[in-house]
Amino acid sequence: MDTIRLDGRLLANQIQARLKEEIRYLSHPPHLAVVYIGDNPASTLYITMKTKAAESVGIRTTIQKLPEHASTEEIVRFIQILNADPSIDGILVQLPLPKHIDTNAVIESILPSKDADGLTSKNQGGLMTGHPTILPCTPLGCLRLIQQVRTDLTGLNAVVVGRSRLVGRPMAQLLLNENCTVAQAHSKTQNLAEICSRADILVSATGVQGLIKRPFIKEGAIVIDVGISKTEDGRIAGDVDASSVMGQAGWLTPVPGGVGPMTVAMLMANMVNIVKHEF
């Protein structure tokens, strides 16, 4: 069988075109504050992608850059100022943060109603309990890609490899909410290939280059590769050994060009929903 490429860039562009039209009818253009600590080159690249996408749809962005040596307390105080600013609709803290910073404390300092990334405990708790909430961007983008293949996921077997707060845990819950039967695997899981090979939907978010190979894939499965790492020659690679799964997977997201653009598009969608109070 031929493996079909799930083009995240194409879908993201379609979503952003619809958002651009929707923003014209809002009470005001959404305003996103991006908090950036230090000088991580990858973070700089991601922020550029997000601000360009925001500008293209009519979302205003303000970049708030803090020095590498900023303390957790200083960052939290700064976020509290943004929380109190009525002109700011959403706040995003670019991750990862420098190692000396308490990432959890920083995330939890964001007002849940301004949590553009959907990572605060209140918003993640809303996802777990089925209450309206701001959803995490990357898992939501993955779900939208999966729904390009199947709109009704009821009864399908899904495996999520990874259990992070950012992707793995909320991804599993989103699939549960779509009536999938979900298994969550991680670094301590035994017989990983056997577990993955039963999945109609496989989402891998470990950052372990080439972890997912052909024996892990059920014939015809939808495979979503969230992992990003660099090869020895500087290329970007994912969790999935794409060359080995071609012809086995039914659908596969490329790296790059799969999940990444969808993460940005879902951030834009979250900002629109924040202004509309649809959460």
**Annotation marks residue 190 as catalytic:** no
Sheet holding 60-66, edge to edge: 60-66, 31-37, 90-93
**Residue in the structure block whose two tokens are 């040596």:** 69
DSSP 134: P
**Annotation marks residue 85 as catalytic:** no
Round to whole Å and give the CA distance between 138 and 235. Answer: 22
Residue 192: CB atoms within 10 A of its CB come to 17
Query: Element (H or E) spanning 13, and its range?
Result: helix 8-23
215's tokens? 């024996």
Q: Catalytic one among 117, 200, 225, 239? A: 117
**Annotation marks residue 147 as catalytic:** no
Angle between helices 8-23 and 41-57 (to 10 degrees): 50
Q: Catalytic one among 16, 50, 184, 200? A: 50
Q: What amino acid is encoded at 186 in this protein?
A: H
178-190 in b/e burial notation, b at 16+ Cβ within 10 A?
bebebbbbeeeee
Round to whole Å and give the CA distance between 174 and 195. Answer: 19
191's tokens? 């017989």
Q: Please tell me whether residue 180 adopts helix, strand or coil conformation.
A: coil
Q: Catalytic one among 16, 64, 94, 124? A: 94
- Burial (Cβ within 10 Å: 0-12, 13-18, ≥19) of residue 55: exposed
The catalytic site residues sit at 50, 94, 117
